[in-house]
Amino acid sequence: MAAATTGSTGSARTSGGSTRKPTSTANASGRPTRRLVIVESPSKAKKIQPYLGNDYVVESSVGHIRDLPRGAADVPAKYKGESWARLGVDVDNQFSPLYVVTPEKRSTVSELREALKTVDELLLATDPDREGEAIAWHLLETLQPKVPVRRMVFHEITESAIRAAAENTRELDQHLVDAQETRRILDRLYGYEVSPVLWKKVMPKLSAGRVQSVATRLIVQRERDRIAFRSAEYWDIAATLDAGEKATPRSFGARLLQVDDKRVATGRDFDSLGQLKKGSAEVVTLNEAEARRLAEGLQDRPMEVASVDSKPYTRKPYPPFMTSTLQQEAGRKLRFSSERTMRSAQRLYENGYITYMRTDSTTLSATAIEAARSQARELYGDAYVADSPRQYTRKVKNAQEAHEAIRPAGESFRTPGAIAREVDGDDFRLYELIWQRTIASQMNDARGTTVSIRIAGTAGTGENVVFGASGRTITFPGFLKAYVETVDDGSADQADDAESRLPELTRGQGLTATELVPDGHSTSPPSRFTEPALVKAMEEMGIGRPSTYASTIKTILDRGYVWKKGSALVPSWVAFAVVGLMEQHFGQLVDYDFTAAMEDDLDSIASGDDSRVHWLSGFYFGTDGASSGSEIARAGGLKKLVGSNLEEIDARTVNSIPMFADAAGNDVVVRVGRYGPYLERIVDGESQRANLPDDLAPDELSEEIAEKLFSVPQEGRKLGTDPVTGHEIVAKEGRFGPYVTELLPEPEVPEGAKKKPAKPKPRTGSLFKSMTVDTITLEDALRLLSLPRIVGTDPDSGDEITAQNGRYGPYLKKGTDSRSLSGEEQLFTVTLSEALEIYKQPKQRGRAAAAPPLRELGEDASTQKKMVIKDGRFGPYVTDGETNASLRKGDSVEEITDERASELLAERRAKAPAKKTTTRKPAASKSTAAAKKTTTRSTAAKTTPTKSTGTRTRKTPTT
DNA sequence: CAGTGAGCGAGCTTCCGCTTGACTT
């Protein structure tokens, strides 16, 4: 049984299990039974309504209506204090999820509630898959219908299918709902527990997730392969052979295949690192000299046809589109990004041109098959149409198949020409692609012949050689007439409709080589992922869903894990750091088979063989004994990995990506710093650093480029030369913001000196707030470098007073006594007497206290203290003099009410660490703080049973 | 990645899947 919902008053679990069959009999009031049908998509609702007639009201949920809270702002006040509020899942209490109606769905929900009032029965007709079942359950929980409820399922949107579905309803499948909920909670735990690890160890705002982390890993791994790649050279010989004047074509090309019974290496004999594969002992690799010598030796030698092998060639049409193949082909043929493809497809769908665009099925309905066949017949003739209808059942990993393939809508298809007036641009081109592919899928195989010829000869130097040539002729193009798939590298001669013709030859026939050209090749690195290629890889691995391929790509782009160079996806250095961390410390979570294993486990939950709580317990808390559970469960569970194991993760190591050793043998390392990636190496115990340019792809970082970067002094804008010292002055961005500094000439090493003289430190100075690196003048820079300025001497103490710029802005310094200055210009203008005047004032105790409140409020509800709004370093906050609480998103200084202010203060008080209670072990290291916090919180939750139980009790049996 | 002296209010970031408008310039 699925989770009882937190946040809703315990619902009748049986409401979905009404066994009453819908009838068409009249109800008590004498009118016919009215039914509300809820589907997921508004356009689907519109389409179905006329099929069902006036006794039905068809509405849509517009996808999911509830979800776990995204963050603190979504958590209802009632649960705010709970230890698990951040996760939205009470892990200590049977993993009870807290569901909230998604803010933008509130109006949808109230509309559905209204509609429900007018009917006698509810039919939940969400998609027939795991997510659809869950949406149906959420609708049930949220709407709390008083009328009977049934689950309606259909796989095809035709009148007969819809009517049949309305007559043959079933109960909600709680096991399937459980499987979905398990998936949802797993993803939440993974994402919300692992991401904070990245914030602590790498950079804030990064993210990890079951899908995005594996996608990122794929891209990083490919780049690593490219970095490790060493191009290898191999040679062969390209021959042009003459078959005699009667032959057509008379001459043709052939390539050297064998030398003395050993196969000549081709590209396929090299691995992804560019080196000859192991086990290729039987292969001979020719170098240039050998190839030249052999070509010469073959000059004017007789050749003869050793074999002619002719085979029939047939090629079946490609299956109709599903989301992933549509994105791939639109990417290759139209150069659309995944997002662009989906945006266009959405428009076509909404306007009734195509069927649903988020699908993992290649199935066509019977009417669609008929439409495609009749249109193919019309356009190309009977011979081109397949003898019998073709159904494509190629199973995609983890496919849910809730929808049809993507095809032109309707019972007869409109040709691209027919819609050209209504649709243009991207939409037209995409429709054309879909239309062609659909038509082609019902056409006949392409047929032809492939011929493979071997030609033997002996070189003057004694080697026996074999040349090979192959040809393909297409005698009947079949479906190729309508649609040819584009190959990844864009080469036309690899395409399915490519032809190459050979003359008719017979065994033993003599040939002469008119040309023998030694031909050099070099292996090239595996190419980077493009968007379509990544989508294909994800689909093959079963990670991500049709509705998320495009958004996953967007996510990894947004996080800065990946950037686009043309159409190639290039990983950032941050991605290297994050993937490295994940592989090292969360290996099970980024395993390429993790999702596949999860899907199997979800299947056993869906079938009732496993339970949600049992599975999640293993995942989160680990399992004893190695006999059962997932990899992560055996490793002790996620909680341990993000908790006590955290201190094992060394941030410095994680953020260091070793590259290579330079000529002197020093290791060159890329470091991912707070302010971007930079190179570092240690030379003679001294650290050398260099910024990495943003547009340098990791695989382009060669030793040569590294040396160049090291040799360039830290870039910065050159402002000119200091007339006094002759030093060049530059402005650049630094750790503490923009600053100016001088470039000192290399100190001369005196003859015979044992040690290098100590490097003199260059002068530096932070820019004023009014200045920028791009606009600062040499004059300003020299003024900044002149700081600190000696203002004068305190006549009382004899101490020197200086004016300088610091971390908190401009200030005066006299020994250890300091005073802030009000403006940066004052650094140059303040006089000794003004300075002494300032020193007469007592030291300001905190700027916040000195600043007047932004607004005054009434008394706090609980403490009866006066509340005021103040502006602080972190923005406006409310204080009652004791407790301070920042205003949240949505609160404004002008509009906040006393009630809201009190609420914020109360929340803050509740969160404040208990001051007098425990005196725990001091000096908790930064990395263990999180783990500790969790412990404290869960204890608190247990000691206040009234809060953590109540409406949230669940009946799920524990396994 | 430059290096200089206070004391003070943090809160938020993040996942995967299902669906489309409603916003602003």
Count of other CB atoms within 10 angstroms of residue A610: 21
Q: Which residue has the tokens 């370093």?
A: A873
For residue A653, the Cα-to-chain-centroid distance in whole angstroms is 24
CA A759 to CA A902: how far, in whole Å? 58
3-state secondary structure of A431: helix
**Which of residues 728-787 of A have CB within 7 Å of strand B?**
734-739, 741, 761, 764-766
- Edge-first strand order for the sheet with A686-691 is A656-661, A667-673, A676-683, A686-691
Q: Does the CB of A512 sit below 7 A from strand B?
A: no
Q: Residues A234, A356, A483, A620: which is the catalytic one?
A: A356
Protein A762 CA to nucleic acid B3 C1', in Å? 12
Confidence of residue A19 (pLDDT cuts 50, 70, 90): very low
Q: How many angstroms from the chain centroid is the CA of residue A426?
A: 25
**Strand-pair partners of A309:** A452
Interatomic separation, CA of residue A905 and C1' of nucleotide B20, rounded (Å):
38
Q: Under a CB-based contact definition with an 8 Å cutoff, are residues A486 and A333 in contact?
A: yes
The whole-number Å distance from A877's CA to B9's C1' is: 7
pLDDT tens figures, A462-489: 999 999 999 999 999 999 999 998 887 6
Provide, in whole angstroms, the distance separating residue A824's CA from nucleotide B4's C1': 15
A219-261 pLDDT tens trace: 999 999 999 999 999 999 999 999 988 888 999 999 999 999 8
Rounded distance, CA A868 to CA A881, Å?
8
pLDDT at A747: 66
* CB of A874 lies under 7 Å from some atom of strand B: yes
pLDDT at A759 over 70: no
Residue A86 approaches strand B within 7 Å at CB: yes
Task: Give the list of residues 6+ apart from residue A349 with CB closer than 8 angstroms, or none.
Answer: A43, A355, A356, A357
Distance from residue A557's CA to nucleotide B10's C1', rounded to whole Å: 29
Average pLDDT over residues A363-384: 96
Question: For residue A840, what pLDDT is reported?
Answer: 78
List of A residues 636-675 with CB within 7 A of strand B = 673-675
Task: Say which residue, A845 or A760, is predicted with more confidence.
Answer: A760
Report the range of poorest mean pLDDT among A801-805, A844-848, A899-903.
Answer: A844-848
578-637 on A, CB < 7 Å from strand B: 595
pLDDT of A285 above 60 = yes
Task: Identify residue A525 by its one-letter amino acid code.
Answer: P
What is the predicted pLDDT for the residue at A734?
67
Task: Identify which has the larger pLDDT, A863 or A664.
Answer: A664
Query: Is 90 exceeded by the pLDDT of residue A267?
Result: no
Q: What is the pTM of this model?
A: 0.81
Closest residue to B7 measured CA to C1′? A846
CA dist A190 and A188 (Å) reads 5
* pLDDT tens digits, A420-453: 999 989 999 999 999 999 999 999 999 999 999 9
Can you tell me whether residue A490 is helix, strand or coil? coil
A131 beta carbon < 7 A from strand B? yes
Say if residue A20's pLDDT is above 50. no
CA of A63 to C1' of B23 (A): 20
Determine whether the distance from the CB of A105 to the nearest atom of strand B is below 7 Å: no
pLDDT at A154 over 80: yes
Q: Which positions 319-358 on chain A have a beta carbon less than 7 angstroms from any atom of strand B? A: 346, 349-350, 356, 358
Facing residues of A240 across strands? Answer: A253, A515
Q: What is the pLDDT of residues A764-773, one digit of tens each?
A: 888 887 787 7
Q: Is the CB of A691 under 7 A from strand B?
A: yes
Give the β-pairing of A149-151 and A56-60. Answer: unpaired
Alpha-carbon separation of residue A118 from A35, A111, A115, A152, A858 (angstroms) = 9, 12, 6, 19, 47
Q: Residue A85: exposed, middle, or buried by beta-carbon count in 10 A (0-12, 13-18, 19+)?
A: buried
Distance CA(A23)–CA(A305), nearest Å, equals 79
Nearest residue to B13, CA vs C1'?
A205
Is A373 (CB) below 7 Å from strand B? no
- Tell me the H-state helices in A299-415: 323-334, 338-350, 366-380
Model pLDDT, residue A383:
96
Distance A540 CA to B18 C1' (A): 22
Confidence of residue A353 (pLDDT cuts 50, 70, 90): very high
The answer on pLDDT for A189 being more than 90 is yes
Average pLDDT of the residues of chain A:
85
Q: How far is the CA of A620 from the C1' of B11 (A)?
A: 27
- Which nucleotide in the DNA or RNA is closest to residue A403, CA to C1'? B18
Residue A169 pLDDT greater than 60, yes or no = yes
Which nucleotide is at minimal CA–C1' distance from A733?
B1
Strand A866-872 vs strand A855-859: parallel, antiparallel, or unpaired?
A: antiparallel
Pick from A201, A224, A186: which is nearest to A87 by CA? A186
- Mean pLDDT of all residues in A121-147: 97
pLDDT digits (tens, 9 = 90+) for A404-421: 999 999 999 999 999 999
Banded pLDDT at A735 (limits 50, 70, 90):
low
pLDDT at A603: 96
Tell me how far CA of residue A158 lies from CA of A155, A262, A639, in angstroms: 9, 62, 49
Would you say residue A910 has pLDDT above 60? yes
Q: Is the CB of A917 under 7 A from strand B?
A: no
Task: Indicate whether A609 pLDDT > 70.
Answer: yes
Pairing of the two strands A89-90 and A96-97 = antiparallel
Parallel, antiparallel, or unpaired for β A100-101 and A96-97?
Answer: unpaired
For residue A811, give the nucleotide whose C1' atom is nearest its CA. Answer: B5
The reply to whether A356 belongs to the active site is: yes
Q: Measured between alpha carbons, how far is A558 from A959 in angstroms, rounded to an integer?
A: 41
The distance (Å) linking the CA of A244 with the C1' of B3 is 85
Q: Pick out the nucleotide with least CA–C1' distance to A61.
A: B19
Q: What is the pLDDT of residues A63-115, one digit of tens each?
A: 999 999 999 889 998 998 899 999 999 999 999 999 999 999 999 999 999 99
Determine the average pLDDT of the residues in A700-727: 84
> What is the spatial distance, in angstroms and rounded to an integer, between the CA atom of A904 and the C1' atom of B24?
29
Give the nearest nucleotide to A350, CA to C1'. Answer: B20
Output the pLDDT for position A934: 30
Percentage of chain A exceeding pLDDT 90: 59
**Is A191 near strand B, with its CB below 7 A from some atom of it?**
yes
Q: Which whole number is the average pLDDT over A845-860?
A: 64
The tokens for A729 are 């002055």
Task: Give the Cα separation of A407 and A397 in Å (integer).
Answer: 21
Q: Is the CB of A204 under 7 A from strand B?
A: yes
Q: Is the CB of A563 under 7 A from strand B?
A: no
Q: What pLDDT score does A861 carry?
A: 81
Q: Of A487, A586, A580, A582, which Cα lies nearest the Cα of A532? A: A487
Rounded to 5 degrees, φ, ψ at A238 are: -100, 120
Cβ A477 to strand B below 7 Å: no
Measured from Cα to the C1' atom, the residue closest to B16 is A187
Measure A85 CA to B6 C1' (Å): 36
Residue with CA nearest B9 C1'?
A884
- Angstrom distance, A633 CA to B13 C1': 27
The pLDDT value given to residue A918: 34
Q: Is the CB of A82 under 7 A from strand B?
A: no
What DSSP character marks residue A34?
P
Cβ of residue A129 lies below 7 Å from strand B: yes
Helix A174-201 to helix A926-943 angle (10° resolution) is: 140
Q: Which of residues 261-290 of A touch strand B (CB under 7 A)?
A: none
Looking at residue A870, its pLDDT comes to: 76
Q: What is the DSSP letter of A387?
A: S
Give the residue nearest to nucleotide B21 (CA to C1').
A104
pLDDT given for residue A255 in this prediction:
96
Nucleotides of B under 7 A from a protein CB: 1-21
For residue A253, say whether its CB is under 7 Å from any atom of strand B: no
Measure the CA–CA gap between A559 and A578, rounded to whole angstroms. 11
Which string of b and e fits A93-131 if b means at least 16 CB within 10 Å?
bbbbbbbbbbeebeebbeebeebbeebbbbbbbbbbbbb
Cα-flanking dihedrals φ and ψ of residue A745, to 5°? -65, 150
